[in-house]
Amino acid sequence: MIVENPFAEFRKECETILAHASKKALSEVKVGNMTFNKPPNPEFGQLASSICFELAKKFNQKPADLAAKLVMSIDKKKFGLIEKVSAVGGYINFHLNFAKFSSLTLQAVRHLGSAYGFIKTGKPLKIIVEHTSVNPLHPIHIGQARNPMIGDALARILKYRGHTVFCHYYIDDVGRQSSVIAYGYDKLGRPKPNEKPDHFVGKIYTITSCLVELNRLKKKLENAKETAPSDEVAKITKQIDEWMSIAAELKEKFPALFERLLEEIEKAKDAEEEINRLNLAYEKGEPEAMRLVREVSELCLKGFRETLERVGVSYDSWDWESDLVWSGRVSEVLQRLKATPFVYTEGGVLEFDAEKVARVFKLKAKMGLREDYEVPPLTLTRADGTTLYTTRDVAYTLQKFNRADKVINVIGMEQSLAQLQLKLALHALGYTKCADNLGHFAYNLVTLPGYKMSSRRGRYITLDEVLDEAVERAYAEVSKRSPQLTEEEKREIARFVGLGAVRFALVDVDAAKPVVFTWDRVLNFETNSAPYVQYTHARACSILRKAAREPEKADFSLLKEPLERELVLTVASFPEIFIDAAEYLKPNLIADFANALSDKFNTFYNALPVIKAEPQALSDARLALTDAIKIVLHNALSIIGVVAPEKM
C-alpha cells in the first residue's frame, strides 16, 4: 500500500489509540486538544502527548499516575505503526515500529517520486500571486530581489498544493517617476541602449531625477528666502547640499551622460512643469505621451525579463497600470468611491476616510488593530485631478479578483499602511469578500552596510551584478574542487550553483526580518546554502550510480542505526512540512528542511557504508534510503527553484 503522508499515518494512529485509552480509563470522551510534540530524544519515542499535565488537576491525580493508567488501558492489538507506548514522567511516549514504518515510507517516496510530499489541498482555489512589480526605472537591485525569489517560491508551493496559480507583474508606469525617466530619455533624443537596457534606463533616470530635484529645490530656496523663516531656509539649503553631493557622485561615474542631461535640463524653461505636464498627458492617454513612456518602460522591462528568466522566475501576466487608467476602470472606481459616505473633498483633492470605514464596519479587531488607533486618511486624487498609486491599486485589485478567489501581494512591509487602506477601500465599496481574501505578504528590506539603498540616488547593487559575481565565484570554486571536469561542465555547474546560492539565501531567512547585504551572506557555498544541498544531492546520485542496481533485496527492518532512523523520519515528515509551508506561506521552511536533511545525510554518509554494507539486504535498504533522500532533496529544491544536480 502506498501512503502519501507516512508520518501523518503514525500521528493518526497515536490519536486513535490515545482517544480510546482515555475513554476507557477516564470515561472521558473529550480529552482536550490532541496535539503531540516531538520528544527531545529518540529514547522518548517519536511522538509524545503531554495531556496528563492538563488533566491532572481535573482528575486530582498526579500526571505520572494518570499517564501510567492511560498506558495500561491501551489496546495493543490495535497497533499498526506503533511499536510500544510508555509513560515517562507524566508524558505518554509513542514509539514507532521502524521495521514497518521504514518500509512504508521508503516505498511511498520511491513510488511517488517527484510527486512525493506535495499533498493536494481539499479546497483548490484560483490564486493570484502578484510579485516583483519593480518600477521600470532602473535595474532590479538586491534590495528588491528578495521579492521575486519569495514570490516565485510561494507560487510554486501553492501550485504544488493543488491551487491554480497565476503570477502577475504589475507595471507601475503611471506615477510621476515614469514621467521623469521619459523626460530624460526624450531630452537625449530617445537613444538606443549600448548596454543591458534596464541598466541604461537606470542611469538616465538617476541623473535626470537628481537634476530635476536640484532645480526644484533651488527655486524653492529663492522663494523661501523672501517669505519663509530662517530654519526653513537652512533645511532647504541642507537638502540642496545633499543632492549636490549626489550630483557630483553621478557626474564622476557617468560624465558624458551627465553633461548632456545637465545641458538639456538647464536649457529647459521649467523641467518640473514639463514633467508634470507629461504625467497628466500620459494619464489622459495622449498618443505622443503614450508612445514615449511606453517605449522607455518597455526598454527597461526587456532588461528585467532577461534577469528574471536567468533565475527561473516567470509570470503569467504583465499588467500595465496605465491600461487601468485608460480603460476608465480607475475613474469608475473613483466615482463609486465618491458615492460612498467615506469620501470628502478638501482643498480640491479627494480624501478617503479609512478610519470611518474601519469604525462603521467594526473592522479594527478583525484586522488586528487597536480600537484607539486612528487609520490615517488616504488621498485619492491630486488637485490637478490625476490619481495616486493606491487609488489605482483599488481598481487593479478588483480586476485581479475577476480572475481569482484569492490574491497575495508580495510587497515590502513599508507599504503596510497603503495595503491596509486598500483593504478598507474594498470594504467601503462593499467588496467584503475580496477584502478578506486579499493578503499582503510583507517582507523586510535588504540594506547595504553603512547606507540605505536608494534607487533615486543610484546607490544600489543590481541583481545582475550579484548573479554574475555568484556564478564567477562558483566557477572558481568548481575549478578548484573538480579540475578534472571539462570546461563546459564547469560552466554549467557554476551557473546553477551560483544562481541557486542566491535564490536560497534570499528565501532562507524569515521574510519579516531585515537583511543586511554582504557578499559572503549571499554567496555562501558551505552548510546552510543551496550549494550544500546540491552537493548532498549529487553525492546521493553518485552512490546510486556506482551501485548500479535496483535495491531488490532490501530488508528495511535492518535499518536499526539511530542515524538511519532519523533519516527515515525526516524523509517521512516532508509532506507535513510542505503542508505547513503552503498553509502558512512560509517558503523558508522548505529551505530549512532541505538543509536539515542534508546535514543528516552527510553524517550518515560519513559514518556508514551503503554499497559495501553487509549483508546485501542491508546494503539494499540503505540504497533505497539514499534514493528516497535524493528524491526528497530534489522535490524540496524544486519548490525554491534551485536545480538538483546529478554531478558537481
In the complex with RNA, the residue whose CB is nearer, 57 or 123, is: 57
For residue 578, the minimal CB distance to RNA (Å) is 12
By CB under 7 A, is residue 413 in contact with RNA?
Answer: yes
In the complex with RNA, the residue whose CB is nearer, 254 or 326, is: 326
Amino acid (one-letter) located at 343? V
Quick one: DSSP state of residue 415?
G
For residue 615, the minimal CB distance to RNA (Å) is 15
By CB under 7 A, is residue 8 in contact with RNA?
Answer: no
Among 223, 314, 327, 603, binds RNA (CB under 7 A): 603
Distance CA 284, CA 289 (A): 9
The phi, psi pair for 34, rounded to 5°, reads: -90, 60
By CB under 7 A, is residue 176 in contact with RNA?
Answer: yes
Quick one: DSSP state of residue 549?
S
Give the residue from 60, 61, 85 showing the smallest Cα distance to 73. 85
Among 211, 515, 590, 643, binds RNA (CB under 7 A): 515
Long-range pairs for 112-115: beta carbons < 8 A, 24 or more residues apart: 112/2, 112/4, 113/631, 114/631, 114/634, 114/635, 114/638
Residue that is written with C-alpha cell 475513554 in the block: 23
Among 287, 513, 548, 614, binds RNA (CB under 7 A): 513
- C-beta separation of 495 from 543 below 8 A: no
What do you get for the CA distance between the two ends of the chain, in Å? Answer: 36
What burial class does residue 641 get, using C-beta atoms within 10 Å of its C-beta: 0-12 exposed, 13-18 middle, 19+ buried?
buried
Among 222, 516, 519, 550, binds RNA (CB under 7 A): 516
What burial class does residue 513 get, using C-beta atoms within 10 Å of its C-beta: 0-12 exposed, 13-18 middle, 19+ buried?
exposed
CB neighbour list of residue 304: distance below 8 Å, 6 or more residues apart:
132, 134, 136, 139, 140, 198
Distance CA 293, CA 181 (A): 8
In the complex with RNA, the residue whose CB is nearer, 340 or 524, is: 524
By CB under 7 A, is residue 5 in contact with RNA?
Answer: no
In the complex with RNA, the residue whose CB is nearer, 111 or 452, is: 452
In the complex with RNA, the residue whose CB is nearer, 204 or 420, is: 420
| Interaction residues for RNA, span 421-460 (CB under 7 A) | 442, 444-445, 452
Give the residue from 308, 588, 591, 298 showing the smallest Cα distance to 463. 308
Contact letters for RNA, residues 15-54 (x by CB under 7 A): --------------------x-x-xxx-xxx--x-x--xx
Among 76-84, 153-161, 293-301, 515-523, which window interacts with RNA (CB under 7 A)?
Answer: 515-523
**Binding-site residue total for RNA (CB under 7 A)?**
105
| Interaction residues for RNA, span 456-475 (CB under 7 A) | 474
In the complex with RNA, the residue whose CB is nearer, 177 or 570, is: 177
| Interaction residues for RNA, span 220-259 (CB under 7 A) | none
In the complex with RNA, the residue whose CB is nearer, 237 or 542, is: 542
| Interaction residues for RNA, span 281-320 (CB under 7 A) | none
In the complex with RNA, the residue whose CB is nearer, 228 or 442, is: 442
By CB under 7 A, is residue 487 in contact with RNA?
Answer: no
| Interaction residues for RNA, span 372-411 (CB under 7 A) | 372-374, 376, 379, 382-384, 388-390
Q: Give the number of other Cβ atoms within 10 Å of residue 484's Cβ.
A: 7
| Interaction residues for RNA, span 119-158 (CB under 7 A) | 135
By CB under 7 A, is residue 327 in contact with RNA?
Answer: no
**Do you know the residue count of the chain?**
648
By CB under 7 A, is residue 7 in contact with RNA?
Answer: no
By CB under 7 A, is residue 584 in contact with RNA?
Answer: yes
Give the residue from 49, 101, 109 showing the smallest Cα distance to 80. 101
By CB under 7 A, is residue 91 in contact with RNA?
Answer: yes
In DSSP terms, 128 is beta-bridged to: 166, 407
Distance CA 299, CA 195 (A): 11
Among 589, 625, 636, 637, binds RNA (CB under 7 A): 589
Quick one: DSSP state of residue 454?
B
For residue 92, the minimal CB distance to RNA (Å) is 8
For residue 489, the minimal CB distance to RNA (Å) is 10
- C-beta separation of 465 from 484 below 8 A: no
| Interaction residues for RNA, span 70-89 (CB under 7 A) | 88-89
For residue 521, the minimal CB distance to RNA (Å) is 6
Among 216-224, 247-255, 335-343, 542-550, which window interacts with RNA (CB under 7 A)?
Answer: 542-550
Among 608, 616, 617, 638, binds RNA (CB under 7 A): 608
In the complex with RNA, the residue whose CB is nearer, 290 or 388, is: 388
SS3 93: strand
Among 101, 304, 517, 535, binds RNA (CB under 7 A): 535
Among 403, 509, 566, 617, binds RNA (CB under 7 A): 509
Q: At what angle do helices 562-583 and 6-26 cross, to 10 degrees?
A: 90
Q: What is the DSSP secondary-structure string of 128-196?
A: EEE-----TTS--BHHHHHHHHHHHHHHHHHHHTT-EEEEEEEE--SSHHHHHHHHHHHHTTSPPPSS-
Among 25, 56, 268, 617, binds RNA (CB under 7 A): 56
In the numeric block, which cell numbers belong to residue 235?
Answer: 533645511
Distance CA 309, CA 502 (A): 14
Q: Tell how far CA 596 is from the center of its chain.
A: 20
For residue 133, the minimal CB distance to RNA (Å) is 9
Among 14-22, 118-126, 187-195, 413-421, which window interacts with RNA (CB under 7 A)?
Answer: 413-421
For residue 538, the minimal CB distance to RNA (Å) is 3
For residue 543, the minimal CB distance to RNA (Å) is 4
Determine if the peptide bond prior to 191 is cis (ω within 30°): no
